[in-house]
Structure 1
């Protein structure tokens, strides 16, 4: 099986993806130009103020995100009501757990941030077809 090396200047890659840090160091780096185009058709970028919630604990997961810029704080509310910080994520980290329907944590912007969101269904479909993507996640 021949592995095709992807050129970051490839005209088949969506313009917005060419310079994206998640494209080079994140999960999108294992996608073919065709898969990037498919994902890009459904993606949207969002700027977040510090403190803005990306997803809340217990919410249904409808989108996954790549962090483009900034820091995202991951927290979990304990049974006694205390909030525990369970992690920090930075560009080009991926936010979400594939094939899980309910978020076990809250993710909120710790600084001004930017994320690239894409529907869960689209990425789950790509994961099923792309073993490299599943491994990267």
Structure 2
């Protein structure tokens, strides 16, 4: 599990950088804050699914797993965007604005979504089956 978690974190850093970069660039170019986050999330999520399937969980990309991951990502999308939206006003009230406010919002939303995502992917989608019993083991019972 440690190996998977460290790989998951490495993939998460790379894909969060994709998400963050696109979000900040699009927002700086004038796209609404929420829509910028949506676009960043979509591209980061596609990269995360492909990298985690192969590199973290060593699983083949399949339609069934892709559908399960899509449902999971839709829920983490809701969590992440809700936190992104909810942190806006309190951070402004604390005197944060612009890229500093958006970065703090991003870190909070991304952190909660990443933790949720790992736990659910590990337990529901890419769960590890216990090793099969060998004939010698079953005879010794």
Q: State the TM bucket, normalised to the shorter chain.
A: under 0.3
Between 1 and 2, higher relative CO (CA 8 Å, sep ≥ 6) is seen in 1
Q: TM-score, normalised by structure 2?
A: 0.24
Q: TM-score, normalised by structure 1?
A: 0.24
**Higher normalized strand content (fraction of residues):** 1
Structure of larger gyration radius:
2
